[in-house]
Structures are given as C-alpha cells and as structure tokens.
Amino acid sequence: MKSDVLRRGGAAAHVAGSQVALAASNYVLLAIAARHLDPAGFAAVSAYYLLINTVGRGLFAAVELETTRAVAAGAHGMRDALRHTGVLLVGALVLLGLAAPLLTGGVATVVLLAVGAVTMAASYLIRGPLAGRQQYGRYAATFWIEAAAGLVGAIVLTVVDEHATAAWIAVLAVAPALAPLLLRGAGVRAADGAGAAARANAGGAEAAGGLDAAASGWRDAEGGAAAGARGAPVGPVLWSAALLLASQGVWNLAPVLATARLADAATLAAGFTTVAVVVRAPVLLFPTIQAMLLPRLAGGARTPRALVATVAAAGLVWVALATVAVPFVATLVFATTTPPPPWVVAVLALSITLGTVAQIAQAQLVAARRPHAAALAWLAGLVVLLVVGLAAAPPVAAATIGQLAAAGIVLGALVIAGRKP
C-alpha cells in the first residue's frame, strides 16, 4: 500500500513537473522574442500563443480526458478518440478562422493557426492512452519534448538573428508535433487487461488534471460500458470541450482583443500583453486545485469554507504583490517599455483571484456530474469578455474590465448553480 502511494505520488510529481516545464518554456520563448522582435512582432507572437492555447489546448484536452477514462476502464478508446478529435479539429479550424482577424502578421499567421491546431490535436491524441495505461513516463515525456522543442527553436532563431514574426510563431506551431513523431505508436495500442484498469482508473484521473472524474460521470450517465462498446457519444466530450475552451478564453483573450484594436500602437499593446501574460501565472494552478478537490467532493463532502477563505485571502495578497512586482518583471524579463498603469495590473490580478475561487465552485459541480452547468457559466463569462473587450473604449481599459466582469459572472453563475439541487 505504501509503495503504491509513493509510486502514485512520484508519477504525479513527474507529470506536474513536465507541465510546469512546458509552461516555463513558453514563457521563456516569449521573453526571448520580446527582446529580439519589435513591439509589433512580439504582440503578434503573444497573441498567437494565447489564441492557440485557448482553442487548441482548450478543445483537445477534452479528448485526452475522455480517452484516459476509456482506456483505464479497459475499453478500446482510440477509435472514439480519433472520431472525437476529428469533430473537434473541424470546430477548432472554424473558431480559429473566425478569430483570424484578431491577429496581425498576415496570411502566414493564419496558416500557422491551422498548423498549430493540427499539431495540438496530434499531441493530445497520444496523451490520453498513455495516461490511461499509467505510462506516466511517456506521458510526461510528451510535455518535456514539446518544451525542449520550443526552447531549441527560440535559441536557433536568436543565433541566426531571425526577425520574421512568422518564424517565431512557427516554433509554437510545430513544437507540439515532435512528441507524436518521437513516440509514434506509443499512444495508439489498444488497452486490454482488466488487471491494470483499476489502478489506472485512479491514477489516470490525477495525471489528467482532475476532470477525468467528470468524464467518467458523463459516460456513466450515457449508459456505462455498453455505450463504450458501440462507440462513445460525442456529447460528453463536447461539454468538456466547451468548459475547457471557455475557461481558457476568459484568461487568454483579453490581450488578444486589445492587441487587435491597438494595431497602430504596438508598444502599448506589447506592454499590456506582457503584463497580462505574467499576471495570469496562477491560472496554471487551477487544474491542481480541482484535482485535489474532486475526490473529496465526489464522496459527498461539501466545499470546506476554510479553503474558500484561504484561497480568497491568498488572492488578495496576489493582487497587492502583482500590482508592485508584475510591472517590474515585465520590464526586467520582457524588456517592456510601456507597462500599463497599476490599476490595470490590480484589476487583472483581482480577476484571477475571482477565477481561483470559481475553480472551487466548479469542482463541486463537476463532482455532482453537472458539467453542463459549469460550461454554461464559463461560456457566459466568455461572451461578456468578448462584448466588453471589443465594443468598449479605450481598448486596454475595455479588455481589463471585460476580464474582471467575465470572472465575476462566472463565479456568480457557478455559486448559484451549486446551490440548486
């Protein structure tokens, strides 16, 4: 028992470390690009990074979660994974096409959006089976490989003194494809054998970030193992995708909206984008919060009030710290010359605090097998952000207030939904 606990703890640390490494790699790439490109080029690279993370990772992570559950349960999940990935890839290309006017950089950037969607689809397609079979070494390797590819690409472009924005964007677009190429075949073998299923069913949920428990609940509602035999329904995956897509959009799209409206003020856009990217760092902790809460909440426990109070207090500390430290970090690391005023940083940090509390409320809904309610809350927040960020003026203030309003709407909707039986 003790060795099993240690094994799971080590696997979780390994997976978490690889995901942190990927996030850090992207931040380092952006920092290098900020010092190597002009403000307009850096704003374009940052907008691409935020947009492809919203649509790409937001959608295809849902396939990973469902495939993890199916494979861990002993089902042949790859056929369904391929079908679901195809459906979501079409949706991703449509969404990215609609969002293309928000990007600068011309036709090359739009083409790279499509490339990035395909490469991310491929990377998440192999991760689900690896997590479901408890092959956490290879699962984590997919993130390490992508992280290394991004860093190497950025270093190469710096050495050759490349100033074309499309070249830097291409690094972000191509990096996710390396793991499927290097680990080809690792994620497509069917997962048979009931002996490993029970262990993987518990471990896979932790490695996938906690939402796998929700996927399991949705599949149970659709008819259990019999549904898996005749092909998993796409509905649960679509709800998962909607939840992940909308939540990613709330935290990523404010700088994209501001950059699109500040085409003639690239320096101002770059300053706001840099600060927004840095201040959203706590968002990386959201999956961990949910993963820790889901097992307890799924057992019928209520959300600990002390936890909510602690998270809220830590969030207020982050608001104060970010207001002072984030502009300094943006100037020191990203060479920002025009950071936004302190109130902008404070409001962005406050929205992150509201979002952290919202994650606790979301976990309660997911544990109660009500993912549609959580998805609708995030979709409402995303609509608010888009309307305010695109219609109000001036652009930086609109994007800032839009993100805060979106976070407030999401938190309120989740709390209200959580009180309903």
DSSP result, 374-388 = HHHHHHHHHHHHHHH
125 lies in a domain?
Answer: yes
Q: Are residues 350 and 222 in the same domain?
A: no
Task: Indicate the SS3 state at residue 164.
Answer: coil
Q: Are residues 228 and 257 in the same domain?
A: no
Cα 285 off chain centre by = 11
Distance CA 146, CA 133 (A): 21
Distance CA 247, CA 375 (A): 8
240 lies in a domain?
Answer: no
- Contact status, residue 15 vs residue 136, Cβ threshold 8 Å: yes
11 lies in a domain?
Answer: yes
Burial class (CB in 10 A: 0-12, 13-18, 19+), 176: buried
Q: Are residues 227 and 267 in the same domain?
A: no
Q: Are residues 217 and 299 in the same domain?
A: no
The token pair at 67 is 């495939």
Q: Are residues 197 and 327 in the same domain?
A: no
What is the rounded end-to-end Cα distance, in angstroms, of the chain?
A: 37
Domain with 268, as residue range(s), is 246-421
Distance CA 85, CA 98 (A): 20
In degrees and rounded to multiples of 5, residue 188 shows phi and psi of: -115, 0
CB atoms within 10 A of CB 337: 12
Distance CA 132, CA 123 (A): 15
User: What are the residues whose beta carbons fall under 8 Å from the beta carbon of 300, sequence distance 6 or more?
Assistant: none
389 lies in a domain?
Answer: yes
- Contact status, residue 270 vs residue 43, Cβ threshold 8 Å: yes
Please report the pLDDT score of residue 214 as a whole number. 38
Distance CA 196, CA 133 (A): 7
Q: Cis before residue 233, ω within 30 degrees of 0? A: no
- Contact status, residue 308 vs residue 360, Cβ threshold 8 Å: yes
Which of 233, 258, 276 finishes a domain?
A: 233
User: What are the residues whose beta carbons fall under 8 Å from the beta carbon of 274, sequence distance 6 or more?
Assistant: 34, 46, 330, 334, 336, 339
Please report the pLDDT score of residue 194 as a whole number. 33
241 lies in a domain?
Answer: no
239 lies in a domain?
Answer: no
Q: Are residues 202 and 336 in the same domain?
A: no
Please report the pLDDT score of residue 9 as a whole number. 58
The single-letter code of the amino acid at 93 is L
The domain tally of the chain equals 2
- Contact status, residue 119 vs residue 172, Cβ threshold 8 Å: no
Q: Are residues 190 and 299 in the same domain?
A: no
The token pair at 253 is 């799209």
Q: Are residues 218 and 268 in the same domain?
A: no
Q: Are residues 316 and 200 in the same domain?
A: no
Q: Are residues 303 and 393 in the same domain?
A: yes
Q: How far is CA 155 from CA 18, 28, 35, 164, 316, in A?
A: 20, 10, 12, 14, 37
Which of 167, 201, 233 finishes a domain?
A: 233
CA angle 287, 252, 128 (to 5 degrees): 40
Q: How far is CA 304 from CA 307, 361, 377, in A?
A: 5, 11, 22
Please report the pLDDT score of residue 76 as a whole number. 60
CB atoms within 10 A of CB 5: 9
Q: Are residues 164 and 257 in the same domain?
A: no
Per run of 10 residues, the mean pLDDT along the chain (length 421 residues) is 54 78 92 90 91 86 79 68 85 87 81 92 87 84 94 94 92 93 60 35 37 39 40 72 92 93 89 93 79 74 82 92 94 90 96 91 84 92 96 93 96 89 66
339 lies in a domain?
Answer: yes
Which of 177, 200, 233 finishes a domain?
A: 233
Q: Are residues 287 and 329 in the same domain?
A: yes
